[in-house]
Chain A
Amino acid sequence: MSAELKTVGLPGIGSGGAVARGDANRLSGQADIRRRQESDWPAYRDMVQRVAVLERTPVFFALDQGTQRLLATRLRRVAVAAGDLVLCQGEPGDTIFFVEEGRCRLVVERPSSSVTVAKLAPGDFFGERACVLKRPQPASVYADTDCSLLALDRASLHAVLGREQAVLEQLGKVADERSSVFAEMTEQASWGMFLHEATVVGVYSPKGGTGGTCMSLNLVGSLARRFPGQVLHLDLDFPYSHAALLAGLVPTSSLARAGAAPIDSFEEALLSAVLYHRGGPMILAGALRPEEADEVTPDLVTRAIGVLRKTFKYIVVDLGVAINDSTLALLDLTQHVVLVAAPELTAVKSAADAVSIMLELGTPDSRLTVVLNNRSPKSSVTRSAVEQILGRPVDVEVGYDGVRPELAAVNGDILSLTNPKSEITRGAEALAELLEAIHGRNDTAWEPARLPTAAPSEKDTVS
């Protein structure tokens, strides 16, 4: 049913006469104008349905029946087709919509992506933030199916509930709570936890030779054992990207070269540059030659991650030792940072500085993992000293592995795929388990939470 355009009941306009029902006072002359009952009340069955919708809705269910009936007379039925935009994020608004039939979804739209923060079913309402608090719409609302909505505009809301300040305050509270929930969910989504996009892990070693590339490759191997074909190693260790070489692969294309492809074929060019390792992981070289490193710009990194995260489950990025614009752009996109340090004084000092930088860049402490890689049989700095210098515990310690890493590099093996007894493998497995514990998710379809309500009751389902 559509919004009614007929102005039935308004004096002098439209078809039909003014018919007052209920207990309304009638007009008795110009000198005795009192509040007049609106004459275009809906049909009985329609009224029953409208009241039923209000009774299923948080906040409104607690109103007395008389108020619910008054509100029901002011509701306007709106039919929306599947796919239609109902409310646009950022626009002002003045209407609360109750879902009578069908399903809608709330989407927070960002410049680079959109996040579905809630799904709405019969019994839910939306639009209250703009209507009650007079703030811009926090999210767009799209109809997932053909919907029948009941709309209550601000004028009607205040006409009926103008003196029920408690109800209006409660609606405002619900609006504020939902805004907080949306912001939190959107923030989480920016870390790629939703929509089954890849978890991006940045591996950074502040000092060369500490084993950052080795750890990143073996981490990829451990993850690929769990998720064959779903883990990618992206080598951004410039200017000499050796990851493919260490894995025994010969790249013929790279991220830098894919960036030169036309926009329409960028995705294809990028994915065709990915190398397949026999053990399961995939490897993408950042550049084939040192001079190509300059072509890997922050924008290219962002575009590439945007494409790759839809294809893989994990993307492990070897960030090398430099912190440049591309590194910073990538850190914005990572969900986890692994810092590889060696128990040497200079390396630990550099690692301490790197930890400070990461935290300053906004990396949550829980998403920063420190790996202590023992590259010699006897360390000059003990683990406790390392922790003291860093100001935080070491999460994973990799024992000395002798010549295994060098031999594996020569043979093009990834130890975590070929040698379970290797210390590197144990370290990589521990790191993979840690990442899975934090970022792992089951494969069932994820459903956004139902909207939170200020007055949960047995009728409400809050998830």
Chain B
Amino acid sequence: MTGLTAGNAIGQARLAIREAALRRRLHAAAAGASPTLEIDLDDHGLDVAALVRAVVAGLPPGGPEVERLATAFEQGQISDQVIGGLAAADTVLQIRSAKVVGALRLERAIPWLAPLLTGQNRAVCDAAARALGRIGGARSAEALIGVIQRSGPSRILVTELARAAPDQFLESALKHPPRGPARWAAAAAAGLRRRRPAVTPLIALLASGSRRERAISCKALGWIGATSAIPAITAALMDREPRVRAAAEKALKAVSHPGRRAAGHPRGMH
């Protein structure tokens, strides 16, 4: 073994030891054995954020362990460091911080995540969107739909909106929207979430929306599989826009053959 390889091996061993130690501290905090937590997000060589996410992913979703871990972060004032990382100049730190606040569902980080949605760095924007999706709640959804309305939607923004939006949020957005991308983004999100209460406003949007809104409403109704929407979708087969007609045709097939639809809710929601 050459000296270079030996040095790499020793470095990797040290990294593994630090990683294992951090993992133990995180599990201890989640188990309630340690009420506070002291970690350094900027630990060189160690992806702390990924480790936190991995530990949280192994815990029962929404269970007391995650709550205890979040509390330990708060009481150890690590949360301040984590939230501060969202405003750092270093994009790697921003992304790590976003991943950690998302994993721990730190609701008070929302005001610091929201500005990142319109940043220059695509990876930071996506990390912020995902964090908001994981945190969930009306405020996260409002931040996401706000940036969609101002800057236009993206696949990730719509997906995370679907994840974050609480009950009746998307339905209200469909009923009382400003004109713009927010409405059809809400329609798409409602379809992704398979929200049955959204069927009525989607049918209304199908009847009176713009070309894009009508097409997306058709798709959303197809994803939801609401048989009560069949008359409205059938009427859309005669729409003047070919995209709407194509979307209506697909939606009718999906509604008529439930086995073809993807079942259940997107992973990670609730």
Enumerate chain A interface residues (CB-CB to B < 8 A): 2-7, 10-14, 30-31, 33-36, 38, 74, 76, 78-80, 84-88, 91-95, 97, 127, 130, 134, 149, 151, 153-156, 158-159, 162
Contact = CB atoms under 8 A, between A and B. Distances in A.
Given A5-B145, A154-B136, A94 B87 contact: no
Given A13-B114, A35-B108, A92-B265, A3 B172 contact: yes
A165 to B, nearest CB: 10
Contact of A94 (B167, B172, B178): B167
A13 B138 contact: no
B111 interface: yes
Contact of B167 (A7, A13, A79, A127): A127
B143 A97 contact: no
A149 B197 CA distance: 15
Contact of B114 (A11, A76, A151): A11
Contact of B197 (A10, A74, A87): A87
21 contacts: A5-B142, A5-B145, A5-B176, A5-B182, A7-B143, A7-B146, A10-B143, A11-B111, A13-B146, A88-B196, A91-B196, A94-B136, A130-B270, A151-B168, A153-B137, A154-B136, A155-B105, A155-B137, A155-B166, A156-B137, A156-B139
Contacts of B253: none
B250 to A, nearest CB: 23
A158 B107 contact: yes
Given A7-B142, A31-B84, A154-B166, A12 B200 contact: no
Q: Which 3 A-B pairs have the closest CB atoms?
A: A155-B137, A2-B176, A3-B172
Contacts of B111: 10-11, 36
B80 interface: yes
Interface residues of B, number: 49
Contacts of A5: 142, 145-146, 149, 173, 176-178, 182
Interface of B: 62, 67, 80, 83-84, 87, 105, 107-108, 110-112, 114-115, 118, 135-140, 142-143, 145-147, 149-150, 166-169, 171-173, 175-178, 182, 194-197, 199-200, 265, 269-270
Q: Main SS of chain B's interface residues?
A: helix
Contacts of B118: 12-13
A90 to B, nearest CB: 9
B166 A153 contact: yes
Contacts of A33: 80, 83-84, 112
A162 B104 CA distance: 14
A95 B167 contact: yes
Contacts of B114: 7, 10-13
A385 B265 CA distance: 62
A79 B172 contact: yes
Contacts of A95: 166-168
Nearest to A85: B197
A84 B142 contact: no
